[in-house]
Structure 1
């Protein structure tokens, strides 16, 4: 393995400083602990104030914590809660006089309340498991919420003959459920998510549902408080049909549950109109493809007549909010890497309001955002910029206003990468593909730079012009960073996303290589210094690339799928993957699975390739990385494996894990660098 002599043992995990002009001027990996971002936005009825959770990274506990803050239209910030806690969600009462929120202040997540006029606070519950989805009744008298209710498990075997005081091994664990472990949650316990009712005055919560279904979707009250609408998968085969959710109505007086929708496909996010006449929700008909556009449906609750408001919108709607007059809805959707909010009337065409949403996925530049709407139509949203994580923004009077500047103190004195959009045509079929270039600080177009191709996961997700600590850190280390949305990405319409249906990896490889060639043609890339990395679906494509070309000096394959056969049979969400990503079960189409598996092309690999995965990753289990690592060893390819202890698929859940990921990737690339940037 080639090594750079200037790198001593003490510097191996500090490679991000190699090309920095000054430590204080460019972003360093430890700076991730200084980042903050806004989430859980709640705007008051008159639009004058926005409550939000101000998330921050606690360097002592290595966790993301947060407190509730308030910001006014003139940008005045006030803390609502303080302390080193985790806030899990909040909801303003309909009259805006109380704020209900879930907090770990007492050790375990509990429902708390603050009376906003007096500032008085109180813990409202003493629950044994974590509550979620706080939902106020229209009159402000009740809160509905959801909570997992465990069931007692009795093992089928009990060992006889154990003497009193004997220290035997831990008993065997018996598993018979379809879903027995989930990424980020570990091995499951028996039980189901149920709906509860809590008086706004406090007291003992009342359990409303008692069945063997997970009643865990969004909820919305009828205006008279007599019904509660919620989404769930209450079909007998719900374990093997994971996306087939419907909208249900719960009668508070009788406890009767009835289905409002009944079709093959997901129906979710029910929302009753302010006048109580309509029910809006999101959904689509399941055609068994890898992707369908989620549409906005509105049902007249009296007649049952239902219409789609967005049938002509070739984009997938993520969330919705009614206007104050019940004449239309505000909707959010991704379009060409950006997230937009538009107003969709019940009759007529939608009107776009803003495309500046994003910034909540601070590790990589994914589209991730949220919004809320006041009764007067003022929209608050997570404000996105390429050089900042999510702030609180406002759309009012036809203008976008940035209310907070949460990271100016941490990033304002840093020289960050400039992010520039570019379009190009794929060599596969001439298809237009969108991408972005992040230029290293101090970029000089007359120099030659090394390049990192960074590939998103999903695979049906989208990158965009959003802040990403990983991209910024690669650029700070002196690399030009290129990232694109190859075919199969979301935000470009149904046909674009479905190009990879039963065909992934597809011509994504051609899209990615065309992006590399396009940037090289700009004249500032050293063609001898090309590197590639990506996570999840990006790990699949990184491994696919090194199995099909040797043009890259080194690669880091993060949390990949290497063998589709083994992946489908070890991943946590396997009933979905085999059904929507393949035409048959693995043993029914061995050839098809293996043709699409990077392991089938490991014999072609000559590129030095490192594997990096969390040991608690149950989405793309670390056994996938181990397969590739061992195969590369057998092939005599230079390889290494980095295992992140206790990390799930979302490695950046803990800030130090994000640091480890970036530093190891940069260190690996540095082992194969030939020279520093030079003049043309």
Structure 2
């Protein structure tokens, strides 16, 4: 009896210790407690910022975001309150009103917030979802884009079912060039069009009507008479998927005039405050898989465009004019760090910060958002390996963190420490950047399993940003390595183009060199090496197990396995065949198969699991099914995890993020 009591007490004590340890580290259920700031929008007076406070709802398993405000001293409070999805907020020129899109009234409508009374209300009754809100300079009008249905009749006429009969759903006839989109499903008949409406509310008026998509950022001319937009209005737009131009449309009569004309994309137009100049982003298309996005400025009177970033070896984004129209603010990623600069039109450039980022809370991708007021007052999202995005105010030499949205969750927890590393590539004169994430309570005298986690894209970059997936892996007792091998962005155009028509290739070697660099530190159990990655990272994971048996297990997430079948089933197939490959698959069979992981499945001995969303149209689940069945035929231990209704972005549902990591850890712990 005493032995049973002692055993019970021991088990209870052990359970209590385990519970305490779990409470002290990041656990799967904590994903629902995460919050992050996005879309900072400074009030025209500069004394406070409105932002979207994003959060996870455990009851609906959805991510929501509502408008909050924070003043320059860091006082945070709701702008409106309630539960909703608010976004696309934009201030009227005088700051008296804030227009935004919200589903507060049941469907996505344009809402208005009045600063004097703090009232808010929907001002539209639209049948679609508006986006790209833009105020006219006089504050009297709002422009926006919205998908506008244009139903087409079926080419055949079918008899109707008799009254009371139950027939099958009628066949669906598809003849669109791009007929389905990841995250959007099968395309409906219609196009994105531009609308204007009185800022006081009323019936929107459709300005454009051509059977092309008119989307993206909208910019009013200074006289309130025209709106500048980007579109691909060519008859052969399907064959030139990246060749857009800038146009203006007259508010009075809808007449469209072309502003740019070159081979390559032109977009993100922005008119200077004095109304004299136009800035935009684009590049001369050389048909490469990665090309640097450049910044251009021209007089609206029609002078030749001026290229402002010819000396910059990084892609530009998020351009904003200075208040005096003498320069522009913009951002770019360098070595995974979000950098904000100010540049005079005469070319002088001044770096303001390099710590912007933090918007991707699932995996540690780069990318952030900022706004600017007056003579350089910045508010931006902060990249922090220990926290999702918060807001920072920077004004000259003054820097103040405005929000701490996750202290209630993390103040009493130990997260995995993140350490930056650089190591030599054995193939080419490159230094490769990576990050090691240590498990909580790390002891350098012990031996730990190592998980290599590989980013997608492939032309993207990881950063020293918070990652729920990586932190959960570390909390389970693993050392995690993530790196930016060749092909990654933010290291210059040459580095990114190393994998043009050559992917996967020496990026595999860069990853193996990173694993060796961590092993050399002396705390890795070489019998417990694991590898995983999603999308492009899934491609590389499948490539790795076809070229080495050094890993004990692998999880291939949402991969491409066969480039031939991929380009014939993916949503952006007209782009992939032109920019990722030297030609059509049936004309270049050897090239497609040389770089397809399926070609090396006969070499695989590593236990390999597949994990993909069933609604993924970017890397369709048929790719995973091919590899699963091939591994079965080859006698390799395998399993397949199918995530119901999930698109390529699996983590859009918080529970799917949890499930993804849980299955990855299960597979690794089993092996």
Fold shared by both chains (TM-score > 0.5):
yes
Match of 1:619 in 2: 618
Structure 1 position 429, deviation (Å): 2.1
Match of 1:63 in 2: 62
How much does 1:161 deviate?
A: 6.5
Are 1:45 and 1:376, in contact at CA under 8 Å, matched by a contact in 2? Answer: no
Q: Do the aligned partners of residues 20 and 269 (structure 1) sit closer, same or farther apart at CA in structure 2, a change above 3 Å counting?
A: farther
Question: Equivalent residue of 2:125, what SS?
Answer: coil
- CA deviations over 1:458-480 (Å, ceiling 9, x no partner): 00000010000001000000110
Contact 1:439 1:480 in 2 (8 A): yes
- Structure 1 unmatched runs, 5+: 1-16, 673-680
Secondary structure of the corresponding residue to residue 71 of structure 1 = strand
User: CA–CA distance in 1 between the matches of 2:234 and 2:372?
Assistant: 34
Q: Which position in structure 2 is the counterpart of 1:664?
A: 663
> Which piece of structure 1 moves more, 18-27 or 325-334?
18-27
- The match for 1:523 is 522
Q: Secondary structure at the match of 2:390?
A: strand
- Preserved contact between residue 421 and residue 437 of structure 1 (Cα < 8 Å): yes
Aligned to 2:433, what secondary structure does the other structure show?
Answer: strand
- The 1:260/1:157 distance shift into structure 2, 3 A limit, reads same
> C-alpha deviations, 1:478-499, integer Å up to 9, x for none?
1100000000000011101100
Deviates more, 1:310-319 or 1:236-245: 236-245
Tell me by how many angstroms 1:446 deviates.
1.1
Cα distance, 1:66–1:128 mapped onto 2, change above 3 Å: same
SS of 1:354's partner is: strand
- 1:373 alignment partner in structure 2: 372
Q: How many residues align?
A: 656
Residues 400-438 of structure 1 show CA distances to partners (whole Å, capped at 9, x for unaligned) of: 321000111111111001111110111122421111100
Identify the residue that residue 169 of structure 2 maps to in structure 1: 170
Q: What secondary structure, in the 3-state scheme, does the structure 2 residue paired with 1:471 have?
A: helix
Aligned to 1:602: 601
Give SS of 1:665's match. Answer: helix
Deviates more, 1:172-181 or 1:116-125: 116-125
Give the TM-score, by structure 2 length.
0.96
The question of whether the paired residues in 1 share the 8 Å contact of 2:25 and 2:415 is answered with yes
Alignment of 1:255-266 (within 5 A): 255-266=254-265
Partner Cα separation in structure 1 for residue 367 and residue 485 of structure 2: 18
Instruction: Give the SS at the match of 1:624.
Output: helix
**Does 255-264 or 151-160 show the bigger shift?**
151-160
Change (3 A) 1:161 1:81: closer
Secondary structure at the residue paired with 1:565? Answer: helix
Q: Distance in 1 between matches of 2:304 and 2:19?
A: 62
- Tell me, in whole angstroms, the C-alpha distance in 2 between the residues paired with 1:138 and 1:661: 47
- How far residue 235 of structure 1 moved from its aligned partner, in angstroms, is 1.3
CA shift, 1:303, in A, is 4.0
The structure whose RCO (Cα within 8 Å, separation 6+) is larger is 1
Secondary structure at 1:446 match in 2: coil
Shift of 1:149: 0.5
User: Is the contact made by 1:36 and 1:389 (CA closer than 8 Å) also made in structure 2?
Assistant: yes
Equivalent residues in 2 for 1:10-29 (5 A)? 22-29=21-28
Whether 1:401 and 2:400 are equivalent positions in the alignment is: yes
Per the alignment, in what secondary structure is the counterpart of residue 502 of structure 1? coil
**Structure 2 CA distance for aligned equivalents of residues 19 and 662 of structure 1:** 20
2-side partners of 1:19 and 1:351: how far apart? 51
3-state DSSP class of the match of 2:147?
strand
Task: Give 1:619 shift.
Answer: 0.2
Query: Residues of 2 paired with 1:348 and 1:586: CA distance?
Result: 44
Aligned counterparts of 2:160 and 2:309: Cα–Cα separation in 1? 66
- Determine if contact 2:436/2:482 at 8 Å carries over to the other structure: yes
- 1:639 paired to 2:638: yes
Q: 1:225 to 1:440 in 2, by over 3 A?
A: same
- Distance of 1:169 and 1:161 partners within structure 2: 11
**Structure 1: distance between partners of 2:399 and 2:617:** 40
1:286-297 equivalent positions in 2, closer than 5 A: 286-297=285-296
Report the alpha carbon displacement of residue 304 of structure 1 after superposing the two structures with TM: 1.8
Partner of 2:224: 225
SS at match of 1:384: coil
Aligned pairs (5 A) from 1:78-117: 78-117=77-116
1:7 paired residue number: none
Aligned to 1:269: 268
Does the C-alpha gap of structure 1 residues 299 and 20 become closer, same or farther in structure 2, counting only changes over 3 Å? farther
Aligned to 1:6: none
Aligned to 1:452: 451
- What are the Cα deviations for residues 488-525 of structure 1, in whole angstroms up to 9, with x where unaligned? 00001110110001111120110000000011001111
| Pairwise CA distance, 1:226 | 1.0
Whether the aligned pair in 2 keeps the contact of 1:454 and 1:534 (CA below 8 Å) is yes
> Is residue 587 of structure 1 aligned with residue 574 of structure 2?
no
Secondary structure of 2:403 counterpart: coil
1:20 and 1:476 in contact (8 A); partners too:
no
**What is the CA–CA distance in structure 2 between the aligned matches of 1:605 and 1:43, rounded to whole Å?**
54
Please state how far the C-alpha of 1:166 moved relative to its aligned partner. 2.2
Q: Is residue 220–residue 272 contact of structure 1 (8 Å, CA) maintained in 2?
A: yes
DSSP-derived class of the 1:540 partner: helix
SS in 2 for 1:629: helix
The answer to whether 1:546 aligns with 2:542 is: no
Q: Secondary structure at the match of 2:491?
A: coil
1:455-534 alignment to 2 at 5 Å? 455-534=454-533
For residues 412 and 320 of structure 1, the distance between their equivalents in structure 2, rounded to whole angstroms, comes to 36
The answer for the alignment partner of 1:339 in structure 2 is: 338
Q: Secondary structure at the match of 2:388?
A: strand
Structure 2 partner of 1:350: 349
Secondary structure of the residue aligned to 2:389 is: strand
For 1:458 and 1:522, how far apart are their aligned partners in 2?
Answer: 29
1:208 aligns with 2:207: yes
Unaligned runs of 5+ in 2: 1-15
**Tell me, what secondary structure is at the counterpart of 2:505?**
coil
Mapped to 2, the partners of 1:430 and 1:668 lie a distance apart of: 36
Distance in 2 (alpha carbons) for counterparts of 1:331 and 1:540: 33
User: CA separation of 1:291/1:20 partners in 2, compared to 1, >3 Å: closer, same or farther?
Assistant: farther
Tell me the CA shift for residue 392 of structure 1: 1.2
The CA distance in 2 between the partners of 1:84 and 1:331, in whole Å, is 33
Q: Which residue of 1 aligns with 2:76?
A: 77
The Cα offsets for residues 179-203 of structure 1, whole Å up to 9 and x where unpaired, read as: 1110001111110000000111111
**Would you say 1:329 and 2:320 are equivalent positions?**
no
State the partner residue of 1:384.
383
| Distance in 2 of aligned mates of 1:397 and 1:221 | 30
